[in-house]
Chain A
Amino acid sequence: SQKIEQNSEALNIQEGKTATLTCNYTNYSPAYLQWYRQDPGRGPVFLLLIRENEKEKRKERLKVTFDTTLKQSLFHITASQPADSATYLCALDEQTGRRALTFGSGTRLQVQP
């Protein structure tokens, strides 16, 4: 069966450290993988998109890697800040024509000051 797995346990780190979140998937062939941030009671907000032929993508303090052999994406936040505390969702786009996203259940990140 198809599965997208993100750490269900919250990730707690100290301010200034690098947070690394994992997204693993099985029985999907995504052409794109996206990461979103979601704050409580709000809709997800787009952060980064990476294509299947890209290994790494960066945007300011954010970095995403995509390994289609391991079927895994890693999402890094460097120099983390308390304002980075939120739930982070990975989403797969299989480019099936319908352009809809399949989301993982998200990992909650808590950055301690």
Chain B
Amino acid sequence: ETGVTQSPTHLIKTRGQQVTLRCSSQSGHNTVSWYQQALGQGPQFIFQYYREEENGRGNFPPRFSGLQFPNYSSELNVNALELDDSALYLCASSFSTGTSGGDTQYFGPGTRLTVL
């Protein structure tokens, strides 16, 4: 177990609705990244938060937004849901120091979102 938890496990929404997914990082980790994984594909980077500020964003529209809180929890919000948003949403926490890379990311089990 990675110590990263996500809720809910599964979620069904209809097109046009809004959804909030939650993640609890490992204690002490200052960075959280969110990924979208479609069936049969690798995870695609959505955005990353470092010390509660957005620190990079992938090729996702602004209706995907997030927050990171001081208590190692974070949220992914998606507005105006589309059918193509159906996927497994993964959060990953890590501890980053300075500008060096090579951080091991610890993934949660994911939230399976289905948009009808």
Contacts and interface: CB of A to CB of B under 8 A. Distances in A.
Interface residues of A, number: 29
Interface stretch (A62-70, A75-83, A99-107): A99-107
B73 interface: no
Given A44-B90, A104-B42, A99 B101 contact: yes
Contacts of B4: 43
Given A42-B109, A43-B90, A45-B107, A95 B100 contact: yes
* Interface secondary structure of B, over-half rule: loop
A34 interface: yes
Contact of A95 (B43, B55, B101, B105): B101
B58 to A, nearest CB: 7
B101 A103 contact: no
Contacts of B106: 46
A105 B102 contact: no
Interface string B88-116: 00101010100111111111111010000
A100 B94 CA distance: 10
Contacts of B90: 43-44
B41 interface: yes
A103 B102 contact: no
11 contacts: A43-B90, A45-B2, A49-B104, A89-B42, A95-B102, A98-B48, A99-B55, A100-B58, A101-B45, A102-B45, A105-B41
